[in-house]
Amino acid sequence: MPGMAKPAPPTLDHPLTDPVPITPPKPFQSRLRHPSSRKTIYDRNLSRTQTTATSLPAFAYLFHALITHHHSQSGSVSDIETRLNRAGYPLGIKLLDLLLYRQQTANPQRPATRPTRILDLLQFIHTTLWRALWNRTADALEQSTTKKNEYMIVDNEPVVNTYISIPREMSQLNCAAFVAGIMEGLCDAAGFAMEGVTAHWASAQGEARVEGKEEEMWPGKTIFLLRFSEAAVGREEAIKAGGG
Partner 1 sequence: MISTRVVFALLIINKAGGLIYTRTFAPGLQRLDSNDYLILAGTFHGIHAISRSINPAPPPPSSTTTNNPSSSTNSLPTHTPAPPPPAPSSTAGNPTRKRPHTTGIESLESSHFRLTCFQSPTGVKFLLFTSPEQPNTDVVVRRCYEMYGDYVMKNPFYSLEMPVRVEKFERAVGGYLVRP
- Using CB under 8 A as the binding rule, whether residue 57 contacts partner 1 is answered as yes
Q: Give the β-pairing of 194-201 and 222-228.
A: antiparallel
User: Going by C-beta distance under 8 Å and a sequence separation of 6 or more, which residues neighbour residue 71?
Assistant: 80
Buried b (16+ CB within 10 A) or exposed e, 126-150: bebbbeeeeeebbeebeeeeeeebb
Give the one residue of 167, 242, 243, 244 binding partner 1; rule: CB under 8 A.
Answer: 167
User: Going by C-beta distance under 8 Å and a sequence separation of 6 or more, which residues neighbour residue 225?
Assistant: 150, 151, 152, 197, 198, 199, 200
- Using CB under 8 A as the binding rule, whether residue 25 contacts partner 1 is answered as no
Q: Which is nearer to partner 1, 56 or 193 (CB)?
A: 56
Dihedral sign (CA 80, 60, 98, 115):
negative
Q: Which is nearer to partner 1, 137 or 203 (CB)?
A: 203
Give the one residue of 165, 210, 213, 241 binding partner 1; rule: CB under 8 A.
Answer: 165
Encoded one letter per residue, x for contact with partner 1 by CB under 8 A and - for no contact, window 145-164 reads ------------------xx
Encoded one letter per residue, x for contact with partner 1 by CB under 8 A and - for no contact, window 201-240 reads ------------------x---------------------
The residues of the shown chain that bind partner 1, judged by CB under 8 A, are 57, 60-61, 63-64, 67-68, 71, 163-168, 170, 175, 219
